[in-house]
Chain A
Protein backbone atom coordinates (compact mmCIF):
# COMPACT_ATOMS: atom_id res chain seq x y z
CA UNK A 1 0.00 0.00 0.00
CA UNK A 2 1.36 3.41 -0.91
CA UNK A 3 1.46 6.23 1.55
CA UNK A 4 0.02 9.40 0.11
CA UNK A 5 2.57 11.95 1.26
CA UNK A 6 0.31 14.74 0.07
CA UNK A 7 -1.90 13.90 3.04
CA UNK A 8 0.86 13.64 5.53
CA UNK A 9 0.09 16.75 7.50
CA UNK A 10 -3.61 16.01 7.69
CA UNK A 11 -5.23 16.09 11.14
CA UNK A 12 -6.62 12.63 11.69
CA UNK A 13 -7.77 12.87 15.28
CA UNK A 14 -9.13 16.09 16.72
CA UNK A 15 -10.42 16.34 20.26
CA UNK A 16 -12.10 19.56 21.36
CA UNK A 17 -12.90 20.21 25.03
CA UNK A 18 -13.60 16.55 25.72
CA UNK A 19 -14.69 15.64 29.26
CA UNK A 20 -15.63 12.23 30.62
CA UNK A 21 -16.72 11.22 34.13
CA UNK A 22 -17.31 7.62 35.21
CA UNK A 23 -20.62 6.81 36.90
CA UNK A 24 -20.71 7.72 40.58
CA UNK A 25 -17.35 9.49 40.43
CA UNK A 26 -17.10 13.09 41.53
CA UNK A 27 -14.02 13.98 39.55
CA UNK A 28 -13.84 13.59 35.76
CA UNK A 29 -11.44 10.93 34.48
CA UNK A 30 -10.64 13.31 31.62
CA UNK A 31 -11.42 16.98 31.66
CA UNK A 32 -11.39 19.50 28.86
CA UNK A 33 -9.04 17.58 26.59
CA UNK A 34 -7.85 19.31 23.42
CA UNK A 35 -5.59 17.24 21.21
CA UNK A 36 -4.67 17.06 17.52
CA UNK A 37 -2.96 14.07 16.02
CA UNK A 38 -1.58 14.13 12.50
CA UNK A 39 -2.06 11.28 10.05
CA UNK A 40 0.70 8.63 9.83
CA UNK A 41 2.41 9.70 13.04
CA UNK A 42 3.34 7.67 16.13
CA UNK A 43 1.97 9.22 19.28
CA UNK A 44 2.92 8.03 22.76
CA UNK A 45 0.55 8.78 25.63
CA UNK A 46 2.22 8.66 29.05
CA UNK A 47 1.11 9.29 32.61
CA UNK A 48 0.87 7.38 35.88
CA UNK A 49 -1.77 4.71 36.58
CA UNK A 50 -5.12 6.45 36.88
CA UNK A 51 -4.16 9.57 34.88
CA UNK A 52 -6.83 8.91 32.24
CA UNK A 53 -4.81 7.20 29.49
CA UNK A 54 -7.08 4.20 29.01
CA UNK A 55 -10.19 6.40 29.23
CA UNK A 56 -8.79 8.40 26.32
CA UNK A 57 -8.32 5.23 24.27
CA UNK A 58 -11.88 4.08 24.98
CA UNK A 59 -13.36 7.44 24.04
CA UNK A 60 -11.59 7.45 20.69
CA UNK A 61 -13.33 4.36 19.38
CA UNK A 62 -16.62 4.98 21.09
CA UNK A 63 -16.38 2.33 23.82
CA UNK A 64 -17.12 5.24 26.16
CA UNK A 65 -19.18 8.30 25.24
CA UNK A 66 -17.90 11.75 26.23
CA UNK A 67 -20.02 13.89 28.58
CA UNK A 68 -19.20 16.94 26.48
CA UNK A 69 -16.87 18.11 23.73
CA UNK A 70 -16.25 16.89 20.19
CA UNK A 71 -14.24 13.94 18.92
CA UNK A 72 -13.54 14.14 15.21
CA UNK A 73 -11.87 11.22 13.49
CA UNK A 74 -10.76 11.69 9.89
CA UNK A 75 -13.18 14.56 9.49
CA UNK A 76 -16.14 12.63 10.90
CA UNK A 77 -17.70 13.61 14.24
CA UNK A 78 -18.07 10.69 16.64
CA UNK A 79 -21.78 10.30 17.46
CA UNK A 80 -24.15 7.45 18.25
CA UNK A 81 -24.91 7.28 14.50
CA UNK A 82 -21.31 7.32 13.29
CA UNK A 83 -19.76 5.09 15.95
CA UNK A 84 -19.75 1.97 13.74
CA UNK A 85 -18.09 3.84 10.90
CA UNK A 86 -15.56 5.30 13.33
CA UNK A 87 -14.72 1.83 14.65
CA UNK A 88 -13.74 0.83 11.12
CA UNK A 89 -11.18 3.59 11.26
CA UNK A 90 -9.92 2.97 14.82
CA UNK A 91 -8.63 -0.41 15.94
CA UNK A 92 -7.58 -1.09 19.51
CA UNK A 93 -5.19 -3.63 21.01
CA UNK A 94 -5.61 -4.23 24.74
CA UNK A 95 -3.14 -5.21 27.43
CA UNK A 96 -4.00 -8.84 28.09
CA UNK A 97 -3.47 -11.17 25.12
CA UNK A 98 -5.75 -13.77 26.69
CA UNK A 99 -8.74 -11.45 26.83
CA UNK A 100 -8.83 -10.80 23.10
CA UNK A 101 -8.94 -14.20 21.51
CA UNK A 102 -12.41 -15.15 20.30
CA UNK A 103 -11.76 -17.70 17.52
CA UNK A 104 -10.96 -21.41 17.86
CA UNK A 105 -7.99 -21.00 15.53
CA UNK A 106 -5.74 -18.12 14.56
CA UNK A 107 -7.44 -17.59 11.18
CA UNK A 108 -10.95 -17.76 12.70
CA UNK A 109 -9.90 -15.15 15.19
CA UNK A 110 -8.64 -12.78 12.50
CA UNK A 111 -11.77 -13.40 10.40
CA UNK A 112 -14.09 -12.50 13.28
CA UNK A 113 -13.92 -8.76 12.76
CA UNK A 114 -14.41 -9.17 9.01
CA UNK A 115 -17.48 -11.36 9.48
CA UNK A 116 -18.96 -8.62 11.64
CA UNK A 117 -18.43 -6.19 8.78
CA UNK A 118 -20.17 -8.57 6.36
CA UNK A 119 -17.18 -9.02 4.03
CA UNK A 120 -17.79 -11.72 1.32
CA UNK A 121 -16.02 -15.00 1.97
CA UNK A 122 -13.46 -15.04 -0.84
CA UNK A 123 -12.37 -11.52 -0.03
CA UNK A 124 -12.23 -12.46 3.65
CA UNK A 125 -9.84 -15.35 3.08
CA UNK A 126 -7.58 -13.05 1.14
CA UNK A 127 -7.64 -10.36 3.84
CA UNK A 128 -7.00 -12.85 6.65
CA UNK A 129 -3.96 -14.22 4.86
CA UNK A 130 -2.69 -10.74 4.09
CA UNK A 131 -3.11 -9.62 7.70
CA UNK A 132 -1.38 -12.72 9.11
CA UNK A 133 1.49 -12.19 6.69
CA UNK A 134 1.97 -8.60 7.92
CA UNK A 135 2.54 -9.85 11.48
CA UNK A 136 4.56 -12.95 10.47
CA UNK A 137 1.93 -15.36 11.72
CA UNK A 138 0.73 -16.97 8.47
CA UNK A 139 2.33 -20.31 9.31
CA UNK A 140 0.25 -20.41 12.52
CA UNK A 141 -3.08 -19.90 10.69
CA UNK A 142 -4.54 -23.26 11.76
CA UNK A 143 -3.16 -23.27 15.31
CA UNK A 144 -5.27 -23.02 18.46
CA UNK A 145 -4.70 -19.97 20.72
CA UNK A 146 -3.51 -21.99 23.73
CA UNK A 147 -0.47 -23.16 21.74
CA UNK A 148 0.75 -19.57 21.24
CA UNK A 149 2.98 -17.37 23.40
CA UNK A 150 1.71 -14.03 24.68
CA UNK A 151 3.62 -12.16 21.98
CA UNK A 152 2.19 -14.40 19.26
CA UNK A 153 -1.34 -13.84 20.61
CA UNK A 154 -0.81 -10.08 20.48
CA UNK A 155 0.41 -10.43 16.88
CA UNK A 156 -2.83 -12.26 16.06
CA UNK A 157 -4.81 -9.49 17.79
CA UNK A 158 -2.97 -6.95 15.60
CA UNK A 159 -3.75 -9.02 12.49
CA UNK A 160 -7.43 -9.03 13.49
CA UNK A 161 -7.36 -5.27 13.72
CA UNK A 162 -5.42 -4.52 10.52
CA UNK A 163 -7.58 -6.96 8.50
CA UNK A 164 -10.35 -4.38 8.72
CA UNK A 165 -7.91 -1.79 7.33
CA UNK A 166 -8.17 0.88 10.06
CA UNK A 167 -6.37 4.21 9.76
CA UNK A 168 -5.54 4.33 13.45
CA UNK A 169 -4.39 1.66 15.86
CA UNK A 170 -4.53 2.34 19.59
CA UNK A 171 -2.25 0.21 21.73
CA UNK A 172 -3.34 0.24 25.36
CA UNK A 173 -0.22 -1.04 27.13
CA UNK A 174 -0.26 -3.87 24.60
CA UNK A 175 3.30 -4.94 25.27
CA UNK A 176 3.31 -4.68 29.07
CA UNK A 177 2.49 -8.37 29.62
CA UNK A 178 5.02 -9.69 27.13
CA UNK A 179 8.56 -10.88 27.61
CA UNK A 180 11.38 -8.78 26.08
CA UNK A 181 11.43 -10.80 22.85
CA UNK A 182 7.65 -10.50 22.44
CA UNK A 183 7.90 -6.79 23.12
CA UNK A 184 10.57 -6.28 20.47
CA UNK A 185 8.56 -8.27 17.91
CA UNK A 186 5.46 -6.13 18.49
CA UNK A 187 7.50 -2.91 18.32
CA UNK A 188 9.00 -3.93 14.97
CA UNK A 189 5.58 -4.81 13.59
CA UNK A 190 4.06 -1.53 14.73
CA UNK A 191 6.92 0.43 13.17
CA UNK A 192 6.32 -1.49 9.93
CA UNK A 193 2.59 -0.72 10.05
CA UNK A 194 3.35 2.96 10.50
CA UNK A 195 6.05 3.27 7.84
CA UNK A 196 4.74 0.83 5.22
CA UNK A 197 0.97 0.93 5.64
CA UNK A 198 0.78 4.52 6.86
CA UNK A 199 -1.23 3.58 9.94
CA UNK A 200 -1.34 6.20 12.70
CA UNK A 201 -0.27 4.70 16.01
CA UNK A 202 -1.46 5.92 19.36
CA UNK A 203 0.44 4.02 22.01
CA UNK A 204 -0.32 4.15 25.72
CA UNK A 205 2.79 3.03 27.51
CA UNK A 206 5.07 3.21 30.54
CA UNK A 207 8.02 1.99 28.54
CA UNK A 208 10.37 4.92 27.97
CA UNK A 209 12.47 2.96 25.49
CA UNK A 210 9.33 2.89 23.36
CA UNK A 211 8.42 6.54 23.97
CA UNK A 212 11.72 7.81 22.54
CA UNK A 213 10.68 6.52 19.09
CA UNK A 214 7.44 8.53 19.03
CA UNK A 215 6.81 11.57 16.81
CA UNK A 216 4.66 13.17 19.48
CA UNK A 217 4.44 12.57 23.22
CA UNK A 218 1.34 13.47 25.22
CA UNK A 219 1.62 13.66 29.01
CA UNK A 220 -1.53 13.15 31.08
CA UNK A 221 -1.96 14.01 34.74
CA UNK A 222 -5.17 13.63 36.69
CA UNK A 223 -7.28 13.70 33.57
CA UNK A 224 -5.61 16.65 31.89
CA UNK A 225 -3.02 17.03 29.16
CA UNK A 226 -0.20 18.91 30.79
CA UNK A 227 2.32 18.63 27.97
CA UNK A 228 2.38 17.62 24.33
CA UNK A 229 5.37 17.79 22.01
CA UNK A 230 8.37 16.05 20.50
CA UNK A 231 10.61 13.70 22.50
CA UNK A 232 13.23 16.46 22.80
CA UNK A 233 10.66 18.94 24.08
CA UNK A 234 9.10 16.58 26.60
CA UNK A 235 12.39 15.36 28.02
CA UNK A 236 13.89 18.85 28.11
CA UNK A 237 12.54 19.10 31.63
CA UNK A 238 13.16 15.73 33.29
CA UNK A 239 12.59 17.10 36.80
CA UNK A 240 9.00 17.96 35.95
CA UNK A 241 8.49 14.46 34.55
CA UNK A 242 9.96 12.89 37.66
CA UNK A 243 7.40 14.80 39.73
CA UNK A 244 4.75 13.12 37.61
CA UNK A 245 6.20 9.74 38.48
CA UNK A 246 7.73 9.27 35.04
CA UNK A 247 11.34 8.26 34.70
CA UNK A 248 13.51 9.80 32.03
CA UNK A 249 14.78 7.39 29.35
CA UNK A 250 17.87 5.43 30.35
CA UNK A 251 20.51 7.54 28.60
CA UNK A 252 19.05 10.70 30.11
CA UNK A 253 19.19 9.14 33.59
CA UNK A 254 22.90 8.54 33.01
CA UNK A 255 23.34 12.05 31.62
CA UNK A 256 21.66 13.71 34.63
CA UNK A 257 23.65 11.62 37.08
CA UNK A 258 26.93 12.52 35.33
CA UNK A 259 26.08 16.23 35.39
CA UNK A 260 25.26 15.92 39.09
CA UNK A 261 28.70 14.41 39.66
CA UNK A 262 30.37 17.34 37.94
CA UNK A 263 30.97 15.99 34.44
CA UNK A 264 30.77 18.78 31.88
CA UNK A 265 28.27 17.53 29.29
CA UNK A 266 25.43 19.18 27.45
CA UNK A 267 22.28 19.28 29.55
CA UNK A 268 19.78 19.26 26.69
CA UNK A 269 18.08 15.97 25.76
CA UNK A 270 20.53 13.75 23.91
CA UNK A 271 19.76 10.55 22.04
CA UNK A 272 21.79 7.44 22.83
CA UNK A 273 24.12 8.07 19.89
CA UNK A 274 24.61 11.74 20.83
CA UNK A 275 25.49 10.71 24.38
CA UNK A 276 28.07 8.20 23.16
CA UNK A 277 29.60 10.88 20.89
CA UNK A 278 29.64 13.47 23.65
CA UNK A 279 31.30 11.15 26.18
CA UNK A 280 33.79 9.91 23.62
CA UNK A 281 34.79 13.50 22.83
CA UNK A 282 35.45 14.22 26.50
CA UNK A 283 37.35 10.97 26.87
CA UNK A 284 39.56 11.43 23.83
CA UNK A 285 40.43 15.02 24.82
CA UNK A 286 42.03 13.79 28.01
Chain B
Protein backbone atom coordinates (compact mmCIF):
# COMPACT_ATOMS: atom_id res chain seq x y z
CA UNK B 1 0.00 0.00 0.00
CA UNK B 2 2.41 2.67 -1.08
CA UNK B 3 1.27 6.24 -0.65
CA UNK B 4 2.47 9.01 -2.94
CA UNK B 5 1.75 12.73 -2.53
CA UNK B 6 2.58 14.90 -5.53
CA UNK B 7 2.48 18.68 -5.06
CA UNK B 8 -0.56 18.48 -2.80
CA UNK B 9 -2.09 21.75 -1.64
CA UNK B 10 -5.19 22.13 0.47
CA UNK B 11 -6.92 25.45 1.00
CA UNK B 12 -9.80 25.48 3.49
CA UNK B 13 -12.83 27.46 2.29
CA UNK B 14 -10.94 28.27 -0.89
CA UNK B 15 -13.68 30.49 -2.31
CA UNK B 16 -14.49 32.43 0.84
CA UNK B 17 -13.01 35.42 2.62
CA UNK B 18 -11.63 33.09 5.33
CA UNK B 19 -9.52 31.02 2.93
CA UNK B 20 -6.75 29.32 4.85
CA UNK B 21 -3.93 27.17 3.51
CA UNK B 22 -3.76 23.86 5.39
CA UNK B 23 -1.19 22.17 3.13
CA UNK B 24 1.22 23.79 0.74
CA UNK B 25 2.84 21.92 -2.14
CA UNK B 26 3.50 18.65 -0.31
CA UNK B 27 5.35 15.80 -2.00
CA UNK B 28 6.56 12.56 -0.39
CA UNK B 29 6.31 8.78 -0.59
CA UNK B 30 5.51 6.17 2.03
CA UNK B 31 6.60 2.61 1.31
CA UNK B 32 4.33 -0.37 1.73
CA UNK B 33 4.66 -1.68 5.33
CA UNK B 34 6.39 1.46 6.58
CA UNK B 35 5.97 2.94 10.06
CA UNK B 36 5.92 6.65 9.37
CA UNK B 37 5.70 9.33 12.04
CA UNK B 38 4.46 12.86 11.41
CA UNK B 39 5.69 15.49 13.85
CA UNK B 40 5.31 19.26 14.12
CA UNK B 41 3.62 21.84 16.31
CA UNK B 42 -0.13 22.16 16.83
CA UNK B 43 -1.67 23.71 13.73
CA UNK B 44 1.24 22.79 11.44
CA UNK B 45 -0.98 20.69 9.13
CA UNK B 46 -0.42 17.14 10.45
CA UNK B 47 -4.10 16.27 10.79
CA UNK B 48 -4.98 17.96 7.50
CA UNK B 49 -2.32 15.87 5.79
CA UNK B 50 -3.50 12.48 7.05
CA UNK B 51 -7.15 13.24 6.26
CA UNK B 52 -6.11 13.28 2.60
CA UNK B 53 -4.97 9.66 2.72
CA UNK B 54 -8.53 8.35 2.94
CA UNK B 55 -9.94 11.36 1.11
CA UNK B 56 -11.87 12.79 4.04
CA UNK B 57 -10.35 15.92 2.60
CA UNK B 58 -9.54 16.24 -1.08
CA UNK B 59 -6.62 18.29 -2.35
CA UNK B 60 -7.38 21.65 -3.92
CA UNK B 61 -4.34 21.02 -6.13
CA UNK B 62 -2.03 18.09 -6.74
CA UNK B 63 -2.45 14.31 -6.73
CA UNK B 64 -2.44 11.53 -4.14
CA UNK B 65 -1.92 7.89 -4.97
CA UNK B 66 -2.83 5.23 -2.40
CA UNK B 67 -2.13 1.79 -3.86
CA UNK B 68 -4.28 1.78 -7.03
CA UNK B 69 -6.49 4.71 -6.01
CA UNK B 70 -5.86 8.18 -7.32
CA UNK B 71 -7.27 11.22 -5.52
CA UNK B 72 -7.35 14.59 -7.25
CA UNK B 73 -9.49 17.71 -6.73
CA UNK B 74 -11.98 16.17 -9.20
CA UNK B 75 -12.41 12.81 -7.41
CA UNK B 76 -16.08 12.02 -6.67
CA UNK B 77 -17.12 10.69 -3.27
CA UNK B 78 -19.00 7.69 -4.65
CA UNK B 79 -15.76 6.02 -5.72
CA UNK B 80 -14.18 6.26 -2.31
CA UNK B 81 -15.67 3.34 -0.35
CA UNK B 82 -13.02 0.75 -1.39
CA UNK B 83 -10.28 3.22 -0.41
CA UNK B 84 -11.87 3.91 2.98
CA UNK B 85 -11.99 0.18 3.70
CA UNK B 86 -8.24 0.04 3.16
CA UNK B 87 -7.40 3.09 5.25
CA UNK B 88 -8.42 3.11 8.91
CA UNK B 89 -8.21 6.33 10.89
CA UNK B 90 -8.05 6.61 14.67
CA UNK B 91 -8.76 10.26 15.35
CA UNK B 92 -7.70 12.16 18.46
CA UNK B 93 -9.84 11.18 21.42
CA UNK B 94 -11.70 8.54 19.39
CA UNK B 95 -13.86 7.64 22.40
CA UNK B 96 -15.85 10.77 21.61
CA UNK B 97 -17.09 8.99 18.49
CA UNK B 98 -18.57 5.91 20.16
CA UNK B 99 -22.31 5.78 19.49
CA UNK B 100 -23.82 2.26 19.68
CA UNK B 101 -25.64 0.92 22.75
CA UNK B 102 -23.30 -2.03 23.21
CA UNK B 103 -19.56 -2.45 22.78
CA UNK B 104 -19.97 -5.27 20.27
CA UNK B 105 -22.36 -3.28 18.08
CA UNK B 106 -19.96 -0.38 18.05
CA UNK B 107 -17.00 -2.50 17.01
CA UNK B 108 -18.91 -4.50 14.37
CA UNK B 109 -20.45 -1.39 12.78
CA UNK B 110 -17.52 -0.86 10.38
CA UNK B 111 -17.33 -4.39 8.94
CA UNK B 112 -21.15 -4.51 8.59
CA UNK B 113 -21.07 -1.17 6.82
CA UNK B 114 -18.51 -2.61 4.40
CA UNK B 115 -20.86 -5.54 3.66
CA UNK B 116 -20.01 -8.28 6.16
CA UNK B 117 -22.80 -10.51 7.54
CA UNK B 118 -23.88 -9.59 11.07
CA UNK B 119 -22.76 -12.86 12.65
CA UNK B 120 -19.30 -12.74 11.06
CA UNK B 121 -18.94 -9.08 11.99
CA UNK B 122 -19.73 -9.82 15.64
CA UNK B 123 -17.30 -12.73 15.67
CA UNK B 124 -14.65 -10.43 14.26
CA UNK B 125 -15.54 -7.80 16.87
CA UNK B 126 -14.85 -10.30 19.65
CA UNK B 127 -11.44 -11.04 18.15
CA UNK B 128 -10.68 -7.32 18.02
CA UNK B 129 -11.80 -6.86 21.61
CA UNK B 130 -9.19 -9.41 22.61
CA UNK B 131 -6.58 -7.75 20.44
CA UNK B 132 -6.94 -4.45 22.31
CA UNK B 133 -6.69 -6.28 25.66
CA UNK B 134 -10.30 -5.97 26.73
CA UNK B 135 -12.29 -8.77 28.33
CA UNK B 136 -15.08 -10.33 26.24
CA UNK B 137 -17.33 -9.73 29.26
CA UNK B 138 -17.51 -6.09 28.16
CA UNK B 139 -19.07 -7.01 24.79
CA UNK B 140 -22.69 -6.51 25.85
CA UNK B 141 -22.05 -3.46 28.02
CA UNK B 142 -22.76 0.08 26.95
CA UNK B 143 -19.48 1.69 25.85
CA UNK B 144 -20.46 4.72 27.94
CA UNK B 145 -20.22 2.73 31.17
CA UNK B 146 -16.52 2.07 30.59
CA UNK B 147 -13.53 4.05 31.84
CA UNK B 148 -11.83 6.52 29.52
CA UNK B 149 -8.98 4.11 28.75
CA UNK B 150 -11.40 1.26 27.98
CA UNK B 151 -13.51 3.49 25.73
CA UNK B 152 -10.37 4.42 23.81
CA UNK B 153 -9.64 0.72 23.22
CA UNK B 154 -13.18 0.04 22.04
CA UNK B 155 -12.89 2.87 19.53
CA UNK B 156 -9.55 1.53 18.28
CA UNK B 157 -10.98 -2.00 18.04
CA UNK B 158 -13.76 -0.52 15.88
CA UNK B 159 -11.21 0.83 13.42
CA UNK B 160 -9.17 -2.40 13.43
CA UNK B 161 -12.34 -4.43 12.75
CA UNK B 162 -12.38 -3.14 9.18
CA UNK B 163 -8.93 -4.74 8.84
CA UNK B 164 -7.31 -1.76 7.14
CA UNK B 165 -4.04 -2.11 5.22
CA UNK B 166 -3.08 1.40 6.29
CA UNK B 167 -3.69 2.55 9.85
CA UNK B 168 -3.56 6.26 10.62
CA UNK B 169 -3.18 7.15 14.30
CA UNK B 170 -3.64 10.76 15.41
CA UNK B 171 -2.11 10.94 18.90
CA UNK B 172 -3.72 7.62 19.81
CA UNK B 173 -2.47 7.47 23.40
CA UNK B 174 -2.99 11.10 24.50
CA UNK B 175 -4.25 11.15 28.09
CA UNK B 176 -3.70 7.43 28.75
CA UNK B 177 -1.65 6.21 31.70
CA UNK B 178 1.84 4.82 30.96
CA UNK B 179 0.71 1.19 30.99
CA UNK B 180 -2.18 1.84 28.62
CA UNK B 181 0.16 3.86 26.42
CA UNK B 182 2.74 1.08 26.30
CA UNK B 183 0.19 -1.65 25.51
CA UNK B 184 -1.33 0.27 22.61
CA UNK B 185 2.05 1.22 21.16
CA UNK B 186 3.07 -2.46 21.27
CA UNK B 187 -0.20 -3.42 19.54
CA UNK B 188 0.48 -0.96 16.70
CA UNK B 189 4.08 -2.21 16.38
CA UNK B 190 2.76 -5.77 16.16
CA UNK B 191 0.27 -4.82 13.42
CA UNK B 192 3.14 -3.17 11.58
CA UNK B 193 5.24 -6.35 11.80
CA UNK B 194 2.27 -8.22 10.34
CA UNK B 195 2.30 -5.90 7.34
CA UNK B 196 0.01 -2.99 8.21
CA UNK B 197 1.38 0.37 7.12
CA UNK B 198 1.29 2.69 10.14
CA UNK B 199 1.15 6.47 10.06
CA UNK B 200 1.48 7.99 13.51
CA UNK B 201 0.97 11.62 14.47
CA UNK B 202 2.72 12.17 17.77
CA UNK B 203 4.31 14.72 20.07
CA UNK B 204 6.10 11.96 21.97
CA UNK B 205 9.53 11.89 20.46
CA UNK B 206 10.46 8.72 22.37
CA UNK B 207 7.73 6.83 20.49
CA UNK B 208 8.72 8.37 17.18
CA UNK B 209 12.36 7.35 17.76
CA UNK B 210 11.53 3.87 18.95
CA UNK B 211 8.93 2.77 16.43
CA UNK B 212 9.16 4.71 13.18
CA UNK B 213 11.49 4.28 10.23
CA UNK B 214 10.49 7.51 8.47
CA UNK B 215 9.69 10.91 9.94
CA UNK B 216 7.84 13.71 8.18
CA UNK B 217 8.24 17.12 9.82
CA UNK B 218 5.44 19.65 9.22
CA UNK B 219 5.64 23.37 9.82
CA UNK B 220 3.10 26.02 8.80
CA UNK B 221 1.37 23.80 6.20
CA UNK B 222 4.66 22.75 4.61
CA UNK B 223 6.64 19.53 4.74
CA UNK B 224 10.05 20.76 5.88
CA UNK B 225 11.84 17.42 6.21
CA UNK B 226 11.43 13.76 5.25
CA UNK B 227 14.16 11.68 6.85
CA UNK B 228 15.07 8.84 9.22
CA UNK B 229 14.48 9.38 12.95
CA UNK B 230 18.22 8.96 13.58
CA UNK B 231 19.10 11.78 11.17
CA UNK B 232 16.43 14.14 12.50
CA UNK B 233 16.89 13.61 16.23
CA UNK B 234 20.65 13.97 16.16
CA UNK B 235 20.43 17.22 14.16
CA UNK B 236 20.38 19.64 17.09
CA UNK B 237 20.40 22.79 14.96
CA UNK B 238 17.40 21.65 12.97
CA UNK B 239 15.45 20.70 16.12
CA UNK B 240 16.20 24.02 17.77
CA UNK B 241 15.36 26.09 14.71
CA UNK B 242 11.98 24.42 14.47
CA UNK B 243 11.24 24.19 18.21
CA UNK B 244 11.14 20.41 18.23
CA UNK B 245 12.23 18.37 21.24
CA UNK B 246 14.83 15.63 21.19
CA UNK B 247 14.05 12.23 22.72
CA UNK B 248 15.00 11.96 26.40
CA UNK B 249 17.78 9.50 25.59
CA UNK B 250 19.39 11.87 23.08
CA UNK B 251 19.14 14.74 25.56
CA UNK B 252 20.73 12.64 28.31
CA UNK B 253 23.45 11.37 25.97
CA UNK B 254 24.33 14.96 25.11
CA UNK B 255 24.77 15.77 28.82
CA UNK B 256 27.20 12.84 29.07
CA UNK B 257 28.93 13.83 25.84
CA UNK B 258 29.38 17.37 27.20
CA UNK B 259 31.29 15.87 30.12
CA UNK B 260 33.55 13.94 27.75
CA UNK B 261 31.71 10.68 27.18
CA UNK B 262 32.28 9.28 23.69
CA UNK B 263 29.35 7.87 21.72
CA UNK B 264 29.86 6.05 18.42
CA UNK B 265 26.61 7.70 17.31
CA UNK B 266 24.14 9.68 19.43
CA UNK B 267 21.47 7.30 20.73
CA UNK B 268 17.80 8.10 20.09
CA UNK B 269 16.22 5.29 22.11
CA UNK B 270 16.67 4.15 25.70
CA UNK B 271 17.87 0.71 24.57
CA UNK B 272 20.54 2.23 22.34
CA UNK B 273 21.65 4.64 25.10
CA UNK B 274 22.00 1.81 27.63
CA UNK B 275 23.84 -0.45 25.16
CA UNK B 276 26.34 2.24 24.29
CA UNK B 277 27.00 3.13 27.95
CA UNK B 278 27.45 -0.55 28.83
CA UNK B 279 29.85 -0.98 25.92
CA UNK B 280 31.92 2.01 27.01
CA UNK B 281 32.01 1.10 30.69
CA UNK B 282 32.35 -2.61 30.15
CA UNK B 283 35.41 -2.55 27.89
* A contact set with B: CB distance below 8 Å: 47-50, 95, 149-151, 173, 176-182, 206, 208-209, 245-247, 250-251, 253-254, 257-258, 261-263, 272, 275-276, 279-280, 282-284, 286
Contacts and interface: CB of A to CB of B under 8 A. Distances in A.
Nearest to B180: A49
B42 interface: yes
B41 A257 contact: no
Given A180-B245, A245-B179, A279 B149 contact: no
Nearest to A206: B177
B274 interface: yes
Given A253-B270, A254-B273, A283-B261, A245 B177 contact: yes
A127 B147 CA distance: 39
A150 B42 contact: yes
B12 to A, nearest CB: 13
Interface string B203-222: 10100000000000000000
B176 interface: yes
Contact of B147 (A50, A176, A284): A50
B180 A280 contact: no
B17 interface: no
A200 to B, nearest CB: 25
Interface of B: 41-43, 147-149, 174-180, 182, 203, 205, 243-245, 248-249, 252, 255-256, 259-261, 270, 273-274, 277-278, 280-282
Contacts of A280: 256, 259-261
A173 B175 contact: yes
A218 to B, nearest CB: 15
Contacts of A206: 175-178
A179 B40 CA distance: 9
A48 B181 CA distance: 11
Given A49-B149, A254-B270, A176 B175 contact: yes
Given A48-B177, A176-B174, A206-B178, A254 B274 contact: yes
Contacts of A245: 177-180
A206 B179 CA distance: 10
The list of the 4 closest CB pairs from A to B, nearest first, reads A245-B179, A49-B149, A250-B248, A247-B178
A283 B281 contact: yes
B177 A284 contact: no
Contact of B278 (A173, A247, A261, A284): A261
Contacts of B42: 149-151, 178-179, 182
B90 to A, nearest CB: 16
A50 B152 CA distance: 13
Contact of A286 (B175, B178, B277, B281): B281
A250 B271 CA distance: 12
A286 B23 CA distance: 53
A272 B261 contact: no
Given A149-B42, A282-B281, A250 B252 contact: yes
Contacts of A261: 274, 278
Contacts of B248: 209, 250
A272 B252 contact: yes
A13 B147 CA distance: 28
A257 B269 CA distance: 13
B177 A49 contact: yes
Nearest to B175: A176
A176 B204 CA distance: 11
B177 A177 contact: no
B267 to A, nearest CB: 10
Given A48-B179, A286-B281, 16 more contacts: A49-B149, A50-B147, A50-B148, A173-B175, A176-B175, A180-B205, A206-B176, A245-B177, A246-B178, A250-B249, A254-B273, A254-B274, A257-B270, A263-B278, A276-B259, A280-B261
A174 B175 CA distance: 10
A171 to B, nearest CB: 14
A150 B281 CA distance: 44
